[in-house]
Structure 1
Amino acid sequence: MSAEEVLIHQNKRPKAPALLTDHDGDRRIGTRKMLNQIAHGLFLLATLVGVVVLAVLLLDIFKMGWKWLNLDFLNSFASRFPAQSGIKAPLWGSLWLIAVTAPLTFIFGVGTAIYLEEYAKKNWFSRLIQLNISNLAGVPSIVFGILGLTLFVRQMKLGQSVLAGALTMTLLILPIVIVAAREAISSVPSSLRQASLAMGATRWQTIYKVVLPYSMPGILTGTILALSRAIGETAPLIMVGAVTFIYFTPGNVFDAFTVLPIQIYTWTGMPKAEFQNLAGAGIIVLLAILLTMNALAIILRNKYQRRNG
């Protein structure tokens, strides 16, 4: 190859890209930092909007209802006269409803999760069940109310009873509990199962002695949070016939009942301003019950985590 051909060949080679200067690098780093600060500010603003709205709402509720919150309010039945009205019937109705719903939800929810995770074969049928459970978790609550009205109130002849409402609430939150329990059970390391089986334990002994204690924090947390949703539901209970005004507390699961959300909704629709204050006091009581249940979930979770640790 002649000298001219070598020169032409060298000129056709692509030129190496110019190295970035320190000024260009600093500019890019500054741009990334600015974008990061803008994103951080937007996320903080989005969080503060929800917190501020919640704080204003709670402040308004406490301002309206705090003065009406006393022992007479907790021990009195609903009345046409605001000064004599209370939440004894809906408070006891809500407690009865949760007392019946909680064991039913825990037994059926955890049992289903154990079957799907530990016993069911991984085939199209189990995948179909899991898909339907996930879809049921997003079904509107009024649909479960219609189902409860048809199945429990009319077909099973339970009427407008605590048991009919509890079974309806169980159907409502059961998909949530199943999903939470499955996630907790699937998070148990397989090495623990294999070690238990290697020691001669049966499958059920492994589940009862190893898997459930390890996954219990997640199961209990998901169950109590699902029950917190159930205690605030109104539409399904209206469908199954929870009454608006009632002048006695339930004595058994077959008695008529009402709950706090229905009583609060009734008070908010009345024209007198005093009933709005009563609604605020009822909301405070309902919030106290919800916060107590959430605190119980945290305590149980920490207790089992320390035990497993």
Structure 2
Amino acid sequence: MELWWAYLLLGGAVGFFAGLLGVGGGGIMVPVLTSIFIATGVAPGQQVHLALATSMAAIIVTSFASARSHHRHQAVLWPVVWRMSPGIVAGTLLAALLASFLSSYYLALFFCIFMAYVALQLLLNIKPKASRTLPGTAALVGTGFGIGGISALVAIGGGSLTVPFLTWCNVKMQQAIGTSAALGLPIAISGTLGYALSGWLSSAGHASASDTVLPWGCVGYVYLPAVLLISVVSAVTAPLGVQLAQRLPVSTLKKIFALLLVSLSAKMLHSVLTAVV
């Protein structure tokens, strides 16, 4: 906890950008947390795992607040949420459990590739054209499974995947965003539980190895002190971002944010490679 101030600053940035641009904080949290864990001496094989798990847990509060806000505005298609949630939960849990078998390098590489995709969406303002209607329950469950799995591996609430999918299925943008926000909560909760369990199982399976001992304050791969500090501050700064969204050039800020995502992701991959070597 010697870098407690860094968690507070990170929480402030995450909450502000979430309120300003309507984006989740995983793209910022994972690279920054990875750098913090490297600086504090966390074992190379656990740095990215802890960053992903801690980021996932930290977005529970913001996911809940976002879902409640959209529900109040009647922008959540709850039948779609109930039909996609079983797949979401299963995919998120499975991916979080499987993450313990993946090296930090491959997790960091996958994260960088996905953030490049998110940045491209923001830079080009890509919005798929509505070309079909919502599929049946089985297809929604399967789609939810895929969205949940990818979301767990990059510690996001799934908005960059769910919103384009729903828009493609002829769902109005406001409802697509609201429904995606509601689905972000089961992603965050099940992802947190999955990473907590996978971290515990990994530690139990290598109890005698000193380089697999998790830092104090961890529940599995979830580092609770960071979760608490990030969540408290982000809850305060998110409303500030919402207020400024009406005054600042959001389209320009999205492009700047996209470049920030790419830069942080590249820095993260370089740091992980350096730590391994």
Instruction: Tell me the TM-score normalised to structure 1 length.
Output: 0.28
Q: Which has the higher contact order (CA 8 A, sep 6+)?
A: 2
Instruction: Tell me the TM-score normalised to structure 2 length.
Output: 0.30
Q: Which has the larger radius of gyration?
A: 1
